[in-house]
Amino acid sequence: MIDKIKEHIAEVEAFTAKTKEEVESFRIKYLGNKGLLKEFFAEFKNVANDQKKEFGQTINTLKSKAEEKVNTLKESFEGKEEIQGVYGDLSRPGEPIPLGSRHPISLTKNKIIEIFSRIGFNVSEGPEIEDDWHNFTALNLPEYHPARDMQDTFFIQTKPDILLRTHTSSVQVRYMENNKPPIRTISPGRVYRNEAISARSHCFFHQVEGLYVDKGVSFADLKQTLQYFTTEMFGKSKIRLRPSYFPFTEPSAEVDVYWGLETETDYKMTKGTGWLEIMGCGMVDPNVLENCGIDSEEYSGFAFGMGIDRIALLLHQIPDIRMLSENDIRFLDQFKSSL
């Protein structure tokens, strides 16, 4: 009987399986309620006393070998199933990597930068957390100036002179402090104002501001630059300049482009007039040049600033500015094919 059990031990050690069903049949054969081990243990009482010890050890060896073999085979099949579940059919060709998409703000900003780079403008950037000097005072907005009320500002409570910038003009101040004319730069970036959130406005948005400082710069140069930009950006060359007021430019103007009334969004964005205000502009105030260490008697310049968000709404016919910051994948997926 002991020799018979040893034969089964050798059989267990040599056993292999290709399916889970074969493993289960093997388990039932040896470890089931009516398996061979049950039979061998039942024979234990009939074994001679001098053979009981060896007989018992041999049965236990068969049991441990069978249990170990079953567990090993089960783990191997479970591992294969896990790989199958995670990676699918490994014999199939690979899936293409999902195509990402650029945000409409990035698309619009990059297009603006590309247009101005053709006529010699470089890109300058600065901090979003700014001090009072660069955001207001250097731009002809001293403390208690009434024009500060035009920009509801987020101040840092513990540091009253530190704030979230309300425009990227602060970048232009920093650039003029560290560079000598001729200067030709645009400053894209995010800005913050404590405004009510609606379909047309938000408490944070994006701007691109431009600056050109050199000898003999005139308002005619400004108008020609803006004419070039609107034609390249929108394919529309009809613009108008309306007199306006900005503390850091004199004279100042608002720039409107005739957009037309072809869609419902056009009516909504232009308030039914067909004209859309896209930016403010003007000749840099001499005080601003002097505050930045530039001789206003020798140099002059112009500046302009526009909201990227509003232009993005127009170009992509987006009805609500809040959609730009909600990070809805269904909305962003529409721009997958955009460069």
Residues 165-205 have pLDDT tens digits of 999 999 999 999 999 999 999 999 999 988 888 877 788 89
Residue 159 has what pLDDT? 79
Residue 237 has what pLDDT? 78
**How many residues are present in the chain?**
339
Strand partners, 276: 257
- 3-class SS at 172? helix
Tokens of 101: 């998409």
Give every residue of the chain whose pLDDT is below 70, as ranges.
79-90, 144-151, 336-339
Tokens of 76: 């191997």
Tokens of 211: 């600056």
Strand partners, 253: 243, 281
Residue 219 has what pLDDT? 95
Interacting residues of 269 by C-beta distance below 8 A, sequence separation 6+: 200, 259, 276, 310, 313, 314
Residue 305 has what pLDDT? 94
Residue 81 has what pLDDT? 57
State the Cα angle at 52 between 47 and 55, rounded to 5°.
Answer: 90
- 3-class SS at 305? strand
Tokens of 178: 């560290």
Sequence-ordered alpha helix ranges (H) in the chain: 2-14, 20-31, 36-42, 52-87, 104-117, 132-135, 169-178, 219-234, 264-270, 286-291, 308-316, 329-332
| Alpha carbon distance 78, 322 (integer Å) | 49
- 3-class SS at 154? coil
Rounded to 5 degrees, φ, ψ at 138 are -65, -20
| Alpha carbon distance 169, 166 (integer Å) | 9
Q: Are strands 275-284 and 159-164 parallel, antiparallel or unpaired?
A: unpaired
- 322: buried, middle or exposed (CB in 10 Å: 19+, 13-18, 0-12)? middle
